[in-house]
Amino acid sequence: MYDTGKIITGLIIFLCLITFPLWYNAITGKAATKPELKIITKEKQCVEATPFMRDSHMKLLIQWRDQVVRENMRLYKGSDGKTYTMSLTNTCLNCHSNKEQFCDQCHNYVGVSPNCWNCHIIPEEKS
Amino acid sequence: MDNSKRTFLKVAGFSLLGIGSKPLQKALAVNEEPKILPSPDALTGKRWAMVVDMKKCKEDCQDCLKTCHQVHNVPNLGNPKDEVKWIWKEPYEKAFPGEENEYIQEYIDQTLKGSQFIMLCNHCDNPPCVRVCPTKATWKREDGIVMMDYHRCIGCRFCMAGCPYGSRSLNWRDPRPFIQETNKEFPTRTRGVVEKCNFCSERLAQGLIPACVEACKEKALVFGDLEDPNSEVRGLLRSHHTIRRKPQLGTMPQIYYIA
């Protein structure tokens, strides 16, 4: 192989650069700050179990949205048997009225910016 | 391994049976309780419509306009070019072109000609806005309401070109700073979507009549189901001569005016 030294050095520099975000975060410890959710409601359970809400709330919200707007269905029977009005503003945000300490925590961590809040009104922060 | 034709056919046969078992299982399974239900208090109709009695409407009254705009977070942008219209006023000649004839005074009160008529989305039976919408963001519900799904609107404004009544408005900019009093229970709109009167579908689902109808002290606005022969709107159509906006266009508007 010609120019072995140059190629190997080049490859090492390339690998260093491409893995930059990984080791940069490892060194500065930024990735270690996990999102901390603050739940300020007295309710024991959300409309579904916590693990389901954690990974599928976006699917649930989209289902709610389509059912309410397009099918005129307004009520949702949660797994606890209770009936809820399907409404982001009037049901979800009643308990989770602290967007900055709840929604934004994970959304910022994973780098998603849902556009719900362009139209749906954020309640005033209560801590 | 015995690879005879006989074993092959046996395996193939059982496999086919296996494919058939899924729908069978579905059919035999106990039906799960539905998780999504309609609101039990909702007002239900087959053909929602409105009669506007202009003989009762007071010229300087703004009650219906103010209530609607407050309930639905309709912004006041302060200039007619950017205006967002849900319910508004228009003079007779602009609202009813083509209605003119030599003997019109026989059935239309001529004193009303100078007055401002109440305008809102006509919730047409044959809505041109629905036909032109490329994303199905607007559609006609089974009860006749022409609905908007702001989530789907891409702001192309075909519907604004299609609507002959000017009932649709685009949000040229973020409407939030121009909303005087925000109703926290109803969303605002965002820049780049078209909006219109929704016949208070969110109130109908709670068993309430439209906000403008409720706000009118003179009872000039009457809301009801046209397919119900005993409804108040049908009664008014029976007892009064009514006109509609531009019926010659074939859009079948469902707002009737007593003039």
pLDDT at B26: 78
pLDDT, average across residues B55-83: 93
What is the rounded distance in angstroms from the CA atom of residue B168 to the CA atom of residue B199?
Answer: 13
* Order of strands across the sheet that contains B255-258: B221-225, B48-53, B255-258, B242-243
Backbone torsion region of residue B186, taken as left when φ is above 0, otherwise alpha when ψ lies between -120 and 50, otherwise beta: beta
pLDDT above 70 as % of chain A: 95
pLDDT at A113: 92
Q: Mean pLDDT lowest for which of A33-42, B71-80, B240-249? A: A33-42
CB contact under 8 A, A89 and B149: no
Portion 154-213 of B in contact with A at CB < 8 A: 182, 184-191, 201, 205
A69 in contact with B at a CB cutoff of 8 Å? yes
pLDDT higher than threshold 70 for residue B247? yes
pLDDT at B46: 94
CB count within 10 Å of CB A121 equals 19
CB contact under 8 A, B36 and A119: no
pLDDT at A64: 95
pLDDT higher than threshold 60 for residue B199? yes
For B196, residues 6+ apart whose C-beta sits below 8 A from its C-beta are B85, B86, B121, B146, B148, B167, B168, B169
pLDDT higher than threshold 80 for residue A1? no
pLDDT, average across residues B54-76: 94
Q: Which residue does chain A place closest to B171, by CA atoms?
A: A119
pLDDT at B23: 80
pLDDT tens profile B2-32? 678 988 999 999 988 888 888 888 777 766 7
CB contact under 8 A, B188 and A121: yes
pLDDT tens profile A111-122? 899 999 999 998
pLDDT grade for A58, boundaries at 50, 70 and 90:
very high
Local structure of B147: helix, strand or coil: strand
pLDDT higher than threshold 80 for residue B67? yes
Structure tokens at A124: 């005033």
CB contact under 8 A, A121 and B182: yes
What is the rounded distance in angstroms from the CA atom of residue B109 to the CA atom of residue B256?
Answer: 15
Give A67's contacts in chain B (Cβ within 8 Å): 36
Q: What is the ipTM metric for this complex? A: 0.82
What is the rounded distance in angstroms from the CA atom of residue A58 to the CA atom of residue A78?
Answer: 16
* Residue with the two structure tokens 């019926």: B247
Q: Which residue does chain A place closest to B137, by CA atoms?
A: A70
What is the rounded distance in angstroms from the CA atom of residue B59 to the CA atom of residue B74?
Answer: 22
pLDDT higher than threshold 80 for residue B146? yes
Q: What DSSP letter does each residue of chain A carry, written as one string?
A: -TTHHHHHHHHHHHHHHHTHHHHHHHHHTGGG-----------S--SS-HHHHHHHHHHHHHHHHHHHHHH---EEE-TTS-EEE--IIIIIHHH---TTTTHHHHHHHHT---GGGGTSPPPPP--
Distance from the Cα of A69 to chain B's closest Cα (Å) equals: 6
Cα B253 → chain centroid: 11
pLDDT at A120: 94
What is the rounded distance in angstroms from the CA atom of residue B110 to the CA atom of residue A100?
Answer: 60
pLDDT, average across residues A6-18: 95
CB contact under 8 A, B184 and A86: no
A119 in contact with B at a CB cutoff of 8 Å? yes
Closest residue by Cα to residue B75 from B186, B159, B214, B156 = B186
pLDDT higher than threshold 90 for residue B33? no
What is the rounded distance in angstroms from the CA atom of residue A32 to the CA atom of residue A20?
Answer: 16
CB contact at 8 A, B144 and B46: yes
* Residue with the two structure tokens 């709109």: B189
Question: CA–CA distance from B18 to each of B9, B14, B22, B24 (Å)?
Answer: 14, 6, 8, 10
CB contact under 8 A, B187 and A69: no
pLDDT higher than threshold 60 for residue A127? no
HSE-CB for B163 with a 13 A CA cutoff? 26
pLDDT at B9: 92
Give A86's contacts in chain B (Cβ within 8 Å): 36
Q: Looking at the partner chain, which of A76, A77, A85 has a beta carbon nearest the beta carbon of B33?
A: A77
pLDDT at A34: 80
